[in-house]
Chain A
Amino acid sequence: MREYTDGSTAIVRGSLAAGCTFFAGYPITPASPILMMMMRELPKVGGVAMQAEDEIAAISMCIGATMAGARAMTATSGPGISLYSENIGLAVMGEVPLVVVDVQRLGPATGGATSVGQGDVQFIRWGTAGGYPVIVLAPSSIAECYTLTMKAFDLAERFRCPVFLLTDKELNMTMNTVDVDEYHDLIVRERKTGGSDNGRETGVFTPYHYDPPDGVPPMAHYGGDVVLRFTGSTHDERAFITKHPPTVEALNRHLAAKIEEHLDEIEEVTADLEPGARTLLISYGVTARAMRGAVREARSGARKVSALTIHSLWPVPEMAIRAALDGIEQVVVAELNLGQYRREIERIAHGCQVVGINRVDGELISPAQFLEAIR
């Protein structure tokens, strides 16, 4: 059985399957279809969807709702991410599980609202003040839009942090044919709550207490059986503002360590490696689809080539990239920007020639462009 659908629909379905109960967004091409579908679907499961007055309000409502026990998602495009920026920092600092969908469009400012682009790759990574790691997943098919949306919710709950789903106009708005059995459901872990005796005696929860090696504090929510404090300021484990240097340092290191020390739980790539290949193609998102087409064509002509599709863009899946570089002389990184992710590959692929295929004209990179680049 097949389905004729688009990535927006798959993301909405994935979020519902993941137990999303709250959505807030602001209309923006090409993310609006998600907003409209969530407004229609969420009330059916007893959830709430809001069209906010602006993107700042949209993500703020999501953060407030999450702390009141909801599982929340928001969706926008590059200009909206700009307005999310400060609140992304709040979600990092306050340790808020939250899924943020960025349906990329072309260029800075208003740019090309109805044109495809992949220019938010570094912006998403460094999109808030202070410079702390975030998790970014990039589907490259409609079925992956579904599955990685579920994974985004799972990782958000697991690590108490914002998780981004990075897609684009083409993936979200172009209809394509999906085999229904390509949709894979994941188990989205429940929010870790309480802790054995956290707040039981005093009635006051210690919201930022965590134990190694897990490093992620259990959560409570407003209206539960304990009093909960939340803050975006530098805080102690009770969420009181502090400047005590050892406490401050521990907090800031913790925010990075809880993600960076668990890369094995986050890394996800599809490695299609061919023994004897001298060229490794690397791509992500919609561009990785054309790469797969090119690999198919090259091999039908008996040309050896390896390919790596990156699904977890941030943190950079260095282990998987290193493994794919074995025996490779030339790495080709294809993306719809001027070489943003190539920087990360160059950092890892010592001794290889790293070249880019880049387009910023609103058109997709074609399989033919990949074929020209294979040695």
Chain B
Amino acid sequence: MTVAPITVTSLETYRNESPYPFCPGCGHGFILDHLNRALVKLQLDPRRVVIVSDIGCVGLSDQYFVTNAFHGLHGRSTVYATGIKLARPDLKVIVLMGDGGTGIGGTHLINAARRNVGITVLVFNNLNFGMTGGQHSATTPTGAITATTRAGNLERPLDICATVAANGASFVCRGTSFDKDLPDRIAEAIQNEGFSLLDIWELCTAYYVPNNQFSRKALMNTLDQLQFPTGVLQRRETPEYAAAYRQAYAEVLGKPTLSPQPIEPRLKSALDRRFNLVVAGSAGGRVRSAVRLAGLAGILSGLRAAQRDDYPITVKSGHSVSELVLDPDEILYTGVSRPDALLILSQDGYQKVARYLPLMTRDDRLFVLPPLAGVETRAQVMVIDPAHAPIRVAKTNTALVLLAVVLKQLALLPSQALEEAARLGRAQYVDENLKAIAAGFALADR
């Protein structure tokens, strides 16, 4: 996306003709005038500037400029700006938000600073909610009287600058709407490549001023009392996020994206009906990957396969159960009401599938390790002891050894199908898996 350079002769203002709607004495108009001066100084193409306004009185502000504008939801202006910047890193994105938006959208501010995404945030900090009736905000000084702190504010005001500075913002400045140098500060912030924030203190003449006999002088005193420093508080050279993202991923640009991994059914299975095979083991026991190979083997043999896994959210502990359906027809229902064959590899697995045991019939098959040899069931039980395998296999691959035994015993698939499936897998596991399969087949023949 490229844009022809605009042939703007020097712009004298970025304001349109509409007068501001703010109360007499409100700081918002002063700050917007400072912003306008900064834009005039920078002479940016209005089509390359996006003003993202938050909610509250400040949310009206975008309507008085000739630049692009985005007026979204309360507190989220920083993240809309992030989305715009990520999609179009060449744009200058300026967020106008109040102390209310700072409070409700605090996490977005911290994260934008932490990422150092190249947006400029101007906080119109008038110490209360001016639009909704003068309620206290996250920056209301302790002891202040507001519509919701009749006995004086009990909360400590948020130090916005310290918060974003501590979290990586590359330009941080605190000032007031009365500052003569504010246009220069705003211009510097806009020109800065990384995340910039200006915390601009001002007067809300509708609520905060009358409620607290507040004034310009009192505002300065409050800053002193809180020991909130003013001026440029941080300048940091760190990579801007949108640019860093493109740099970090430059080497994958143009690489082929995810595409189907077709499997050609080149073998034949004699299975003429749906078969449910359930494998129950422990997390970390490679149950899922072993069963996945069995599914692939089924597809290689002309069947269809479906695999549903169940494991606790703590991935590396507890049970790991995989339910495999093999069917010559399309598998429409992936649930298993009763397994035709059940392989239990561990106590964790046993507990999870014990409910199946009473349902199993004399035609069904149960495969267990020696410790579970005595389990009660009507199914035909085969006890497998992996220690008797003639080939030594890493313990982590026991699931595949036993699954090979089961598949060989059940004779559902041609025996080379499982080996072929193993060869389709990731190169680093092929040899190890083939060895496990060989061990299982040998064990089945004993």
Contact = CB atoms under 8 A, between A and B. Distances in A.
A77 B85 CA distance: 27
A60 B249 contact: no
Given A64-B82, A227-B68, 17 more contacts: A2-B265, A44-B256, A57-B79, A57-B111, A60-B108, A61-B82, A61-B83, A64-B52, A67-B70, A68-B83, A177-B306, A183-B260, A222-B47, A223-B91, A225-B47, A289-B333, A364-B334
Contacts of B85: 64
B10 interface: no
B284 interface: no
B29 interface: no
Of B3, B4, B69, B85, most A-chain CB atoms within 10 Å: B69
Contacts of B427: none
Nearest 3 pairs of A and B residues by beta carbon: A64-B83, A43-B249, A61-B83
Interface string A229-258: 111110000011100000000000000000
A64 B80 CA distance: 4
A65 B86 contact: yes
A71 to B, nearest CB: 10
A308 interface: no
Interface in B47-82: 47-48, 50, 52, 60, 62-63, 66-73, 76, 79-82
Contacts of B255: 44
A231 B47 contact: no
Nearest to B334: A174
Given A3-B261, A3-B263, A70-B87, A53 B299 contact: no
Interface stretch (A9-17, A148-156, A343-351): A9-17
Given A64-B79, A183-B260, A48 B87 contact: yes
Contacts of A94: 72
A173 B307 CA distance: 9
B257 A41 contact: yes
Q: Bin chain B's interface residue count.
A: 35 or more
30 contacts: A2-B262, A3-B262, A3-B263, A13-B259, A16-B257, A16-B258, A43-B245, A48-B242, A56-B79, A60-B73, A60-B83, A62-B83, A64-B85, A64-B86, A67-B84, A69-B88, A70-B87, A175-B292, A175-B308, A223-B90, A224-B1, A226-B47, A228-B68, A229-B68, A230-B72, A239-B71, A240-B63, A241-B71, A293-B332, A364-B334
Contact of A225 (B3, B52, B296, B331): B3
B49 to A, nearest CB: 9
A358 interface: no
Contacts of A289: 332-334
A29 B312 CA distance: 12
Given A61-B82, A225-B3, A290 B313 contact: no
B86 to A, nearest CB: 5
A50 B86 contact: yes
A270 interface: no
Nearest to A52: B79
Nearest to A204: B66
Interface string A202-216: 011000000000000
B374 interface: no
A18 to B, nearest CB: 12
A1 B263 contact: yes
Contacts of A329: none
A100 B369 CA distance: 47
Contact of A227 (B46, B242, B260): B46
Given A4-B263, A41-B257, A225-B47, A232 B79 contact: no
Contacts of A229: 62, 68-69, 71
B71 A9 contact: no
B72 A60 contact: yes
Interface string B234-257: 000000001001000100111111
A29 B315 CA distance: 13
Interface string A161-193: 000000000100111110010010000000000
A198 to B, nearest CB: 14
B319 interface: no
Contact of A241 (B63, B80, B310): B63
B335 interface: yes
A324 interface: no
Contacts of A48: 86-87, 242, 245
A230 B50 CA distance: 10
Contacts of A176: 304-306, 331, 334
Contacts of B309: 173-174
A323 interface: no
Contacts of A232: 71-73
Nearest to B71: A231
A64 B87 contact: yes
A67 B72 CA distance: 12
Contacts of B295: 4, 175
B158 to A, nearest CB: 18
Contact of B88 (A68, A87, A90): A68
Contacts of A61: 79-80, 82-83, 86
B376 interface: no
Contact of A5 (B1, B68, B260): B260
Contact of A175 (B46, B253, B265, B305): B305
B225 interface: no
B191 interface: no
A228 B259 CA distance: 37
A229 B69 CA distance: 5
B264 interface: yes
Contacts of A296: 332
A16 B258 CA distance: 9
B107 interface: yes
A21 B47 CA distance: 22
A48 B296 CA distance: 33
A284 interface: no
Interface in B1-24: 1, 3-4
A252 to B, nearest CB: 18
A5 B292 CA distance: 10
Interface string B75-119: 010011111111110110000000000000001101100000000
B306 A174 contact: yes
B337 interface: yes
Interface string A131-159: 00000000000000000000000000000
Contacts of B86: 22, 48, 50, 61, 64-65
A230 B71 contact: yes
A175 B261 CA distance: 13
Contacts of B310: 114
Given A225-B3, A233-B71, A174 B332 contact: no
Given A292-B332, A293-B333, A43 B88 contact: no
Contacts of B332: 289-290, 292-293, 296, 367
A45 interface: yes
